[in-house]
Structure 1
Amino acid sequence: MTPATVRATGHGVGPLLREWRRRAGISQLELALRADSSSRHISYVETGKSRPSEEMVLRLAEHLDVPVRERNALLVAAGYAPRYPETPLDAPGLAVVRQSLERLLTGYEPYPAVVVDGGFRVLVANRGIAMLLDGVRPWLLQPPMNAMRIALHPEGLAPRILNFREWREHLLDRMRRQLALPRSGALRELYEEVAAYPLPPVPPGGEDRAGDGHGDGHAGSPLALPMVIEHAGRRLSFLSAIATFNTPVDVTVSELAVETFLPADPETADHLRRAAAG
């Protein structure tokens, strides 16, 4: 792409920025105020009448909360080189990051914790996760493991998740939110695959009590939707939390998500402690 003005023909950075602004639900004037610009300049950029500088592209992307991978796409559409590298997690340059994640997950034991990438591939998991995977068919545990397949496949955790229909909808909705990003088709293919898995039968005493917030104390939580799962004849209840890196400057690091599972009741916490002690 040359420095010449990019016409608004559906190509170039203008339409992309306009789409991100609309997704953010803000006006051209509000974006201009945030980015220390003018609404006229924002309008000219979006319609292709003006080619933004590299600094302006990055500034607008920051105020629109555009993910790092898509910031590279905006730069390329504007005729600039990508700014952010994409380093494999097993590369020497990210050794400290991986080691820190492993220490974090080990320190969280006996509670389950896992690190996934933008395609929900499992990169690091602790022994708490390994314990919950008892009974999952071996083919689902072959690298590269995928957290969505393991959770939703009938030969994975699905038959043991007692509030499966609620938890399934939560996971699919999480994927749908990411599908709004203009990434490769791999994530959409994964979504279509796991959404088509057949629903397992409701286990005895399962969905009705585990999903309505009543019953034996393992089911409902006033805080968030729990994952209620059967393990070794017991009902365990977890609340999940997801953490990401702040202000990442690498595509790989920006898409890492640390998901931790906090016991939602004293019985679950006690069972995990006793199981870890052998």
Structure 2
Amino acid sequence: MRNCDPDVPLPNNDPRWQDFSLARGDQAMAALEKELSWRPEGQFVHATFVSHRGAGKSTEILRLTERLSNEYEPVYIEATVEMDPFRIEAEDLLLNMALAVEERMRERGTPLPADLLKRVTGWFDEVVRTTRWDSVIPEREARDRLIAASGGAVRELLDLVSQAAYMAHGAVITRADAERAVASRRQRMRDLINANGWLDALVRLARDKQIFPDKACMDVLFHRLAFKYNGDGWYDVHPLVAEIPEFMNARHDLLR
């Protein structure tokens, strides 16, 4: 049964792989490989490889990146881990791509030029400024609370701000509005954790700061109850999970 998990893509050279291009009715991957191989240096290929879930996209992409590893430096991002796959925004995707490329280049010992990083950072700063946070959330304490409660995830922050705005009694978001939004999000997380029995997995991840081979570990990442952070590549639970009574008690018992 372990060999039949439809959510796990096959690595390159896996003996279970079969060529289904004839049944699919096209040679999409072969065409994409040619396009990437023949494209002159300095020119870009913008391609979208789509199909229904479980059709083998990730498997084929992994095989393609291996075949082109001498020509390109592949950077693979799992949307189900790094982003909310049901609510991906352009800013989320671009930010995660930028972070992944920067991390990969540092790992290779060829960090990106400082001027390029400055340009990228400036672009994202401009995106954040256009939201006009000060006019929407004039209280610094309210802004700090929402930012801290987001765990550093842009999608989480936008969700919290939207919820706080919905609950606000006036034209701006106050600290009380922020706390109501945080409490609502925290309770939804609490219900999700308790209903699925994910408490032990979250406590273990918070202790070890690394993922482990267990479906519950992948589930909590999928549902954004935990995040992967940059730098040395460590994991931790969502800051609102850390405020849930059951989690705090279980963590205290583990460390006692």
Instruction: Give TM-score scaled by structure 2 length.
Output: 0.32
Bigger share in strand: 1
Q: Which protein is bigger by CA-based radius of gyration? A: 1
Bigger share in helix: 2
Structure number with greater CO (CA < 8 Å, separation at least 6) is 1
Instruction: Give TM-score scaled by structure 1 length.
Output: 0.30
